[in-house]
Amino acid sequence: GQSLEQPSEVTAVEGAIVQINCTYQTSGFYGLSWYQQHDGGAPTFLSYNALDGLEETGRFSSFLSRSDSYGYLLLQELQMKDSASYFCAVTDRDDKIIFGKGTRLHILP
Amino acid sequence: ETGVTQTPRHLVMGMTNKKSLKCEQHLGHNAMYWYKQSAKKPLELMFVYSLEERVENNSVPSRFSPECPNSSHLFLHLHTLQPEDSALYLCASSQALGGRGEQYFGPGTRLTVT
């Protein structure tokens, strides 16, 4: 079967750094994406990794290790507005995108 | 604004009603998707259209019927729904199937079945 595992909740302090991990088992793999969803809002695309390594976009970075079927999203200089749910998603060999259950990020002042 | 709009934003319907959800994308994308999002569950892919042809139907009950009249519009026709169908229904689009993992989502329709 196909599965993505990520923690259900993570708590961090404003100004700190937090890492949200994602492991996956899918039938074929093209890439790993990350999405952010605020309460009552729609998921918004953050990043996509097709190759191993770290991709940086401002305060957010995303990492992929294809050999380990593992990736993470790194959020630096946390702000209260970063409180949201974060989903990892795999694009499989049929170009279908499969989402994880999401990680709820709580940020403390 | 993501360039994907959905109407209505909220819908309450009885189990014997028939209603339709509408999605429109203004991005020139070629692929469109319907997802169901329930509490404590991952986003569930329901239907995928590429160039107006259905390419995916994830064992969705027949009480959900999609329609894609052109590459900019997508509908989800609903009839004789069950209370467990209450959820947030999200429409998304991407440049092409897969789209390098990048999809643009609409705001969703919050559906309540009574």
Whether residue A88 contacts residue A31, with contact meaning beta carbons closer than 8 Å, is answered with: no
Of B2, B98, B106, the CB nearest to A91: B98
Distance CA A24, CA B80 (A): 36
What is the model's pLDDT at position B55? 82
- Mean pLDDT of the A9-20 span: 97
Say yes or no to pLDDT of A99 above 70.
yes
The pLDDT confidence band at residue A94, using thresholds 50, 70 and 90, is confident
What is the model's pLDDT at position B66? 95
Is the Cα torsion angle A37, B64, B62, B93 positive or negative in sign? negative
Are A48 and B90 an interchain contact pair (Cβ–Cβ within 8 Å)? no
CA distance B37 to chain A (A): 10
Of B97, B102, B106, the CB nearest to A33: B102
Say yes or no to pLDDT of A96 above 90.
no
Are A45 and B102 an interchain contact pair (Cβ–Cβ within 8 Å)? yes
Per DSSP, chain B holds a count of helices (H) and strands (E) of 0, 11
Are A42 and B2 an interchain contact pair (Cβ–Cβ within 8 Å)? yes
CA distance A85 to chain B (A): 11
The pLDDT confidence band at residue A28, using thresholds 50, 70 and 90, is confident
> What does the CA dihedral A11, A49, A32, A41 come to, rounded to 10 degrees?
60
Arithmetic mean of pLDDT over chain B: 91
